Amino acid sequence: MEARFPESAKEVPAATVEYVAQQVKVPAEAWADYGWQSKAIQRHRGEIRAAYGFRASTEEDQNRLAAWLATELCPVELSRDRLAAAVIARCRNEHIEPPAPGQVRRLVGKAVKDFEKRFCRSTMDRLSHATRSRLEDLIAGDGGDQGDQWAVGGTAVAGGGRSHFAELKTDPGAPGLESLLAEVNKLERVRLLELPADLFADVSEKLVDAWRARASKEYPANLERMKPPRRLTLLATLCRVRQTEITDSLVDLFIQLVLKINTRAERKVDKELGAELKKVRGKEAMLLRVAEASLSEPSGTVRRVIFPVVGGEKTLKALAAEAAANEARYKARIRTVLRSSYSAHWRRMLAPLLKALELKCNNTA
């Protein structure tokens, strides 16, 4: 079933031993007397390999399997159990007796370690000297008033420090002008790192996400103790994924703020106009009579059923005209309140937001 030999008698279920013992007509107890360290077992295994066309695995085979895992599977597969299953499947396809389970686990561990070394080295080699320095600044100790400065395109931005590394990992606060401006600033600082666009082009997204999750759990002091390739790779994956996440959160924040501004304006206008709308005499009673008349004779005509209860067609027309005027006035008042609110407070968010987001149009005309 597993294309390998058992490591001990206990590994084979008792039910299996009983079943095979009945087939070959020997006592099941004979299984316990089999010599697992004898020459007979070596001869038997050699005969079984020959019968099925298999051969014992060598150290060279194991090194080749580890190299195959590190090159082909580790960039796209994170589960060690699935990597171990891939080793067994490849051995079976190549008619090689797979290593013992413990050896397979060590083989997989070696492959993962080799891949991570190569991945970290490759990532660091793709980073410019300036980008490496800025990534290191993210976890550098605060230097008092003499903080580092990043300058890109003539723009100077205060350097990292432990507080910025913690800030980078946080989600935006409640929808508001200050939280939006903070996210804009956060996105600008991540962009100033100037991470290459193809930094992780040859590995899977789930691998990058896994390394980003690792980085999020680390403290600056732990990162400082790591070797540069691993430290820079963790920071680069965190910043690459956070750049996308912060952009998405900016769009969400903007939508929530627009809804918030609009809702506040409607509430304010509703409060202002509520008293005025109630001053029209008899309006509620008139509407009640219309509803009752409609329900009592749903198949009747408007002229015969509705007009009499409101005092004629002329009254109903006046009521409709008044409602239309109130609706137009209501909408105009909301627009006025919106413009006033935006001009007084929210205008500050527009320029930074437009600068931070790259807007594209799908209308080719």
* pLDDT tens string 281-291: 566 677 777 77
Per-position b or e across 72-96, b if 16+ CB within 10 A of its CB: ebbbebeeeeebbebbbebbeeeeb
What is the rounded distance in angstroms from the CA atom of residue 114 to the CA atom of residue 161? 32
Specify the higher pLDDT residue, 57 or 158. Answer: 57
Q: Which helix (H) or strand (E) holds 151?
A: strand 149-152
- pLDDT reading at 109 higher than 80: yes
DSSP letter for each residue of 171-212: PP-SSSHHHHHHHHHHHHHHHTT---TTTTTTS-HHHHHHHH
Q: Which long-range contacts (CB under 8 A, 24 or more apart) does 319-324 make?
A: 319/283, 319/286, 322/280
What is the rounded distance in angstroms from the CA atom of residue 250 to the CA atom of residue 190? 14
What is the rounded distance in angstroms from the CA atom of residue 181 to the CA atom of residue 193? 19
pLDDT for 157: 45
What is the rounded distance in angstroms from the CA atom of residue 291 to the CA atom of residue 294? 5
Q: Which helix (H) or strand (E) holds 356?
A: helix 350-356
CA 98 to chain CA mean position, Å: 37
- Say what the pTM is: 0.64
Q: How far apart are the first and last CA of the chain?
A: 64
**Tokens linked to 79:** 């589960």
Per mean pLDDT, which range of 124-128, 223-227, 231-235, 271-275 is the poorest?
271-275
**CB–CB of 98/4 below 8 Å?**
yes
**Amino acid identity at 157:** V
Q: Which helix (H) or strand (E) holds 157?
A: strand 155-158
Average pLDDT estimate for 156-182: 67
Calculate the average pLDDT of the chain: 79
Q: Which residues fall within 8 angstroms of residue 67, CB to CB, at 6 or more apart?
A: 111, 114
Q: Which residues fall within 8 angstroms of residue 307, CB to CB, at 6 or more apart?
A: 313, 316
Per mean pLDDT, which range of 61-75, 209-223, 272-286 is the poorest?
272-286
pLDDT for 152: 40
Q: Which long-range contacts (CB under 8 A, 24 or more apart) does 92-96 make?
A: 92/3, 95/52, 95/53, 95/54, 95/55, 96/54, 96/55, 96/56, 96/57, 96/61
pLDDT band at 330 (very low <50, low <70, confident <90, very high): low
Average pLDDT estimate for 286-301: 73
Average pLDDT estimate for 305-325: 68
60-103 per-position pLDDT tens digit? 999 999 999 999 999 989 999 999 999 999 999 999 998 888 89
